[in-house]
Structure 1
Amino acid sequence: MFGLGPATKVFVATGATDMRKGFEGLHGLVRDELDRDPLSGHVFLFANKMRTRLKILFWDGSGLWVCAKRLEKGRFHWPEASAGASVTMRQEQLTMLLNGIDLTRSRTRRGWLSKPFVA
């Protein structure tokens, strides 16, 4: 599996994506439509129109990962923006989205600072 460092950003493609796309297709979407470098080490997230399937594209330094998830019930609560745009989210938000939590209903507590864990 892959690990995400503190400098890793998560970019969400807000429009619908054809889930038949593989490595080259998603690589092209990141490069051409999101205007990002697919080999940057950041995470790129795509979903179909119904928001029941998603794919993640990630470069780990030696190759591209494409991970997919299909929901049997329900839908992912996807961020809204104009088609062809991307939204940046934190890694905690990615975890919440993948676990079915509606990000529009969650909020950060007042006075809470997001700092890395230090032992």
Structure 2
Amino acid sequence: MFALTGELNFFMYAPATDMRKGFDGLSGIVSGQLKRDPANGDVFIFVNRARNKIKLLHWEAGGFVLYYKRLESGTFDLPVVEGSNHAKLKWSDLVMMVEGIKLEKYSLKKRFSFIQG
């Protein structure tokens, strides 16, 4: 699909975004609206009003990478964002959203986690 890993932070900008925006315009939204540094390594997700186009902005060593997907039919199923202009997503939620997988009700099984302290 794309070369992003689950170890990154993923932030979806909730308001509809003009998909004519490129690196500079999207970076401006990240710094101006989300109050985050666009070059900190996080992945920022933008969707248009019709919900059929999505862009992911990511800083990698040496510069920005922009991933862009346009659906020929259907729409992206977006998470509900309340009280904020952005939402933090998990890698699995992003993959399901981009691939068109919609889960009405699901629960995550408890997994072992080794935390050093």
Query: Which residue in the other structure is 2:51 paired with?
Result: 51
Moved over 4 A (4+): none
**Preserved contact between residue 44 and residue 58 of structure 2 (Cα < 8 Å):** yes
Query: Which residue in the other structure is 1:87 paired with?
Result: 87
The percent identity for this pair of structures is: 35
Unaligned 5+ segments in structure 2 are none
Query: Which residue in the other structure is 1:39 paired with?
Result: 39
Letter paired with 2:101: I
**Preserved contact between residue 2 and residue 60 of structure 1 (Cα < 8 Å):** no
**Preserved contact between residue 57 and residue 66 of structure 1 (Cα < 8 Å):** yes
Unaligned 5+ segments in structure 1 are none
Cα displacement (A) at 1:82: 5.2
Map 1:1-119 to 2 at 5 A: 2-4=3-5, 6=7, 8-81=8-81, 85-102=85-102, 105-109=104-108, 111-113=109-111
Closer, same or farther: CA 24–37 of 1 in aligned 2, 3 Å: same
CA distance in 2, matches of 1:9, 1:65: 15
Task: Compute the RMSD of aligned alpha carbons.
Answer: 2.2
Cα displacement (A) at 1:102: 2.2
Q: How many residues align?
A: 113
CA distance in 2, matches of 1:52, 1:5: 24
Helix, strand or coil: the match of 2:41? Answer: coil
